[in-house]
Amino acid sequence: MKELNSTTDPIGQNLIKLISNVCFSVFVFAVLIFTVIAITYQPPDPWESSRTLTRVFTQVENATFQTDSSVLKTGEDVATSPVAAPPNASVVPITESVIEKSEDKMSNLSLKSGGCEDMTAVNCSDPRVLIAIERFNLKFFKSIVFLEYRSPVNGSRPDECDVAWRFRNKKEKSWRRYRDFRRFRIGYGENCTYKVLNARGWHSGINARRPRNRVNVTKSGGVAKLAPPFRDDEINDTIPVLGSDASFRKGKYLYYSRGGDYCKGMNHYLWSFLCALGEAQYLNRTFVMDLSICLAATYSGKNKDEEGKDFRFYFDFEHLKEVASIVEEGEFLRDWKKWDKTHKKKIPVRKVATHKVTPLQLRKDKSTIIQRQFDAPEPENYWYRVCEGEAAKYIQRPWHTLWKSKRLMNIVSEISGRMDWDFDAVHVVRGEKAQNKEMWPHLDADTSPDSLVAKLQGMIQPWRNLYVATNEPFYNYFDKLRSHYKVHLLDDYKELWGNTSEWYNETRLLNGGRPVDFDGYMRVEVDTEVLYRAKTRVETFHNLTMSTMVYYCNLYQFKASNKVGN
């Protein structure tokens, strides 16, 4: 009996060991597969399109909009294809085929009969100089669409030419044009043809800069100065005028009184504003628009809400009034008051006291003015409540109407141009999120200076231009990256909104002569757009932190469970 046990026991033990090893191997393999999936999986960006943007927001009815406030997208960002330019702005892009056609037209022209050796100076007015520059630009600035060139002019040396052009960035979906002017050193190639030897940096060709409108700015002491002497003459954000009494009376208007959305975050404001504009379009009415925005305390350097900010500081009012039927509130109220003073018959007004009266119920209303009032306590007084429930089936938010301010986009182009449009970017989300260990447990550690260096070295080549878009308040936080990359932060470009800048000058005019602070909203807009123009873009919650899936799960759970407004 002992012999039998002695022979069977080892077999049983070996069998148990074998089963244990197999189970353990399966477990290790499963963990390995799960780990690979967790590392490589990138959930879809909830801001990738207007459709998903709508879906994310509408998952919650009484949302408080706790979205990533360090990224702010508008209509030109969520558009799936470039927006068509208006007829008066359409320009044929400069391509290789366009250049070849220009060459064919001048095929009979020749250089000086004496040959290249007799040329001590470049004739910048020769059309072939411009062709050489156009070819050079197409080769080296592949992210740019060149729209039109001005004739080259002499630079500071005999072999230099300055050239100005209009362009747009391929990653921007709007039709807006920007300007650059650079200095090129010109030499000669085979058969005495012109070639570009090198090009200087952004806005270096000062002789080709076209004089624009001069704007006088007066100090409080009464001494006049120019700061600076130019302004963007393509911006037209003047307030439209209704016209005669008859045209006012014939119009149909939708007028929203101020509600609880005032002084909320920018995402909240946009969601509500586009709901109101969408209802106006559904009712085929002109929307009465209040250009005054309240800056939420989170974006204010004064740590308190700031009223009286102009919509045009942040968004493109010119584009909005071209694609939507709007009238400015002050202009509308003046005409309304004037009508009631000069006519016995008052303007027909339908006052709507609750958001529960749906747009569908107002579709056939004949009143000249439909005035929605938002006097209930929060969250019943949010504008976007009008677009909830059944209304969501037929009200479409017109995201295409909302673009970022052209003045801010000029700053974006300036920053990108100074890096010659050849840069990478990392979006580092910190601030309050980094301190919230419950919702973002790994964020602080994974965005620490040492972690950033370690992770970016595997994603971006050394000594590339690296733009850091961030809400981290400490400038020197990213100093360790400077040992590996040419680091650029928004604060490196303070002169672009300083008191000698074009932006400062023009916003001051909009603000009645009072200086405008470059606030947190503006910083987010500029950071976001520079980030989008990078060749390689590294995102915090896609690439840097271990909590990618936790972040999105918590975000959606938070939205789905939150039923009370701020």
Tell me the C-alpha distance between 119 and 188, whole Å: 10
Sign of CA dihedral 453, 454, 460, 461: positive
Report which of 118, 99, 283 is spatially closest to residue 188, judged by C-alpha positions: 118
β-pairing verdict for 424-428 and 537-539: parallel
Where is 163: in which H helix or E strand? strand 160-169
Mean residue pLDDT across the chain: 82
Average pLDDT over residues 380-388: 96
Cα-atom radius of gyration of the chain, to the nearest Å?
30
Q: What is the pLDDT of residues 176-234, one digit of tens each?
A: 899 999 999 999 887 778 999 999 999 999 999 877 555 554 444 333 344 444 567 78
Range with the poorest average pLDDT among 80-89, 132-141, 416-425, 525-534: 80-89
- Count of beta carbons in the 10 Å neighbourhood of residue 438: 6
Beta strands in 478-526 (DSSP E): 486-489
Token pair 């074998």 is at which residue?
A: 18
For residue 562, pLDDT over 60 is answered with no
Q: Picking from 86-95, 271-280, 427-436, which range would have the lowest pLDDT averaged per residue?
A: 86-95
For 64-109, what is each residue's pLDDT tens digit? 334 455 566 787 777 666 666 665 555 788 999 988 888 887 765 5
Looking at residue 378, its pLDDT comes to 92
Residue 5 pLDDT > 60, yes or no?
no
240 or 391, greater pLDDT: 391
Sign of the dihedral defined by the CA atoms of residues 217, 219, 222, 228, in that order: negative
- C-alpha 127/C-alpha 119 separation (Å) is 16
243: left (phi over 0), alpha (psi -120 to 50) or beta: left
Can you list the alpha helix ranges (DSSP code H) found in 230-345?
Answer: 245-250, 266-282, 311-314, 317-323, 329-342
pLDDT band of residue 36 (cuts 50, 70, 90) is: low
Q: How far apart are CA 552 and CA 43, in angstroms?
A: 8
Dist. CA 328–CA 513, nearest whole Å: 20
More confident residue, 447 or 35: 447
pLDDT at 213: 54
| Top-confidence residue, 554 or 156 | 156
DSSP 66-120: -S-TT----HHHH-SSPPPPPGGG------HHHHHHHHHHTTT----TT-GGG-S
DSSP annotation of 174: S
Contact 481/468 with Cβ under 8 angstroms? yes
φ/ψ (deg, to 5) at 340: -65, -25
